[in-house]
Amino acid sequence: MSTFERYSATIAEGDLAILYRGHSDLYPIVIKSGEFVNNNKGYVIILHPTPELWTLSLPHRTQILYQADISIITSLLRLKPGSRVLESGTGSGSFSHSLIRTIAPTGHLYTFEYHEGRAAEAKAEFEAHGLAQFVTSQCRDVCKDGFGLTNLVDAAFLDLPAPWEAVASAKQALRKDVATRVCSFSPCIEQVARTVEALTQHGFTNIDMYECLLREHDVRNVTLHQVDVMRSLAPRPKAAAVRPGKGQEEDVPIAPGSVITALVRPRNDARGHTSFLTFATLLPQADEQ
C-alpha cells in the first residue's frame, strides 16, 4: 500500500494518488475498484503523493502556505529528523505534511486548530495518509488557553491573526536546555511590529524578518555571431554625415561560424506578497530547567 510515508511501485485499493492532467490541473483521488474518472485530454498521469503535490491539490479550508515559504521556514527553524515542532494553526494541513516529512521518523508534530470542523478534517487526513503516529492534533484556541506544553519542543510556528498573544505560551512550550527557534507568519507589517515587541519582552533574541518572493527566469537558446575584429579595424571610406536617428545602420563584419548559448532572463511579473516571516531565537535558560 502506498502512503505519504511509504512508497509502492504499484497502486492498490484504497491508495491515495494525485491525478495530473496539466500544469495547474492536479487533484487527489482515492483508488476504488469499479469507479471511473472522466478526462477529455486524452491522457492522465497518476503520481505518488508527496507534500509538494498535496500542497498543489489539497481541498482548501483556509489560505495555505506554498513551497517558497515552506522551504525558508523549514530551513531557518533548523528542522531535521527527530525535531519536535509546535504548529498553530493547522488550517488545511499544507505545512503540516511538509513538517512531518522533515521530522520523521523520530520527530513529532504538535498542531493546534481553534476551528472544530477544520481540526476534525485535518486529523482524519493525517490518519488516512498514514501519518497519525507522527502528529498530535488538537482543537484549541491557543491565544486564550495556551498550548498546554512545557519544555518540550525544539521549534514553534505561529500562523495566527494575533501571534503576539501566543508568544508567552510558545516560550513555555520550547525547550530551555538548548537554543530553540520560533517563526511567525503574518501578512501585515502591523502584525509583525506587535509580534516583535512581544518576542523582545519575553527574552527572544536574534529577531529577523524576511519576505520570500519567487521570481521565475526564462531560459532560451540564442546564436551569438563572432565579429571579425581585423576586418572591422581596416580603413574604410568616410561615411556621409547624417543626423542622429537618420540613415541605415552600418553592417558589422561577421566571421564565419557562430556559437549557440543559453540566455537567461528574469520575468517582469514576480509573484506578489504572501507574508512576512519573523524569526527569533530563545537561548538556553538553565534556571528554568
Could you read off the pLDDT of 226-257 as tens digits, one per residue?
Answer: 665 555 566 666 555 544 444 444 444 444 56
Please report the pLDDT score of residue 254 as a whole number. 47
Instruction: Tell me the average pLDDT of the chain.
Output: 88
What is the maximum span of the chain, computed from C-alpha positions, in angstroms?
89
> Is the pLDDT reported for residue 113 higher than 60?
yes
Could you read off the pLDDT of 100-110 as tens digits, one per residue?
Answer: 999 999 999 99
> Is the pLDDT reported for residue 47 higher than 70?
yes
Q: Domain 67-213+270-288: give its CATH code.
A: 3.40.50.150
Please report the pLDDT score of residue 256 as a whole number. 57
Cell 506578489 -> residue: 272
Please report the pLDDT score of residue 220 as a whole number. 87
Cell 530563545 -> residue: 282
Residues of the chain with CATH 3.40.50.150: 67-213+270-288
Query: Edge-to-edge, what's the strand order for the sheet holding 276-282?
Result: 135-139, 108-113, 84-88, 155-158, 180-186, 276-282, 205-210
Rounded to whole angstroms, the Cα distance separating 201 from 198 reads: 5
Tell me the residue type at 103.
Answer: I
pLDDT tier for residue 263 given thresholds of 50, 70 and 90: confident
Please report the pLDDT score of residue 250 as a whole number. 47
Please report the pLDDT score of residue 279 as a whole number. 99
Tell me which H or E stretch contains 223: strand 217-227
Annotated binding site for S-adenosyl-L-methionine: 113, 141, 159
Annotated binding site: 113, 141, 159
Please report the pLDDT score of residue 245 as a whole number. 47
Q: Which residue did the predictor score with more confidence, 255 or 44?
A: 44
pLDDT tier for residue 22 given thresholds of 50, 70 and 90: confident
